[in-house]
Amino acid sequence: MRSIGMALLTLAVASCAGGPPQPVAIDLVNDVCAHCRMVISTQKTAAQLLAPGEEPKLFDDLGCLRSFLETAPAPEGSAVFVADHLTGDWVRLEDAVITEVPGLQTPMGSGLVAHRTTADRDRDPASRGGRPFDKAILLSGGRP
């Protein structure tokens, strides 16, 4: 009996520590942006910063993520996910295509949107007239 209890405890500890960070679901009624404190009204322009041992930080606009990182760099081992503007699916920032679209209405006016692929970007009417945006600028808090 003791070995069964020990095996269950080991399994429980292993499952809590496992794997790379995964995006969390956003509650579009109650979750607020970690930077501007507005309620996140759409997932299509959202982002999230997941740091080991910390609560997820959610953002309503990619510009808010950039502004947040100006004052608080991402901790070691963090993962950043951005929502695909076309589908709302979560994509790791390093795998995403970021576009700046002048005049596009985003929650805080950054005009920044993300897509899983360039093909998805090209299918999204909202991205027309946009220009590529360097992902490194988002992570550096806007500092080149």
Question: Residue 81: beta bridge partners?
Answer: 48, 92
Whether 65 is in a domain gets the answer yes
Residue 60 and residue 44 in contact, taking contact as beta carbons nearer than 8 Å = no
Whether 76 is in a domain gets the answer yes
The pTM (predicted TM-score) of the whole model is 0.84
Confidence of residue 18 (pLDDT cuts 50, 70, 90): low
Whether 88 is in a domain gets the answer yes
Question: What dihedral angle (degrees, nearest 10) is formed by the CA atoms of 72, 57, 23, 129?
Answer: -70
Domain assignment of residue 34, given as a range: 21-139
pLDDT tens digits, one per residue of 29-76: 999 999 999 999 999 999 999 999 999 999 999 999 999 999 888 889
Whether 9 is in a domain gets the answer no
* Structural domains of the chain, count: 1
Whether 144 is in a domain gets the answer no
Whether 45 is in a domain gets the answer yes
Whether 16 is in a domain gets the answer no
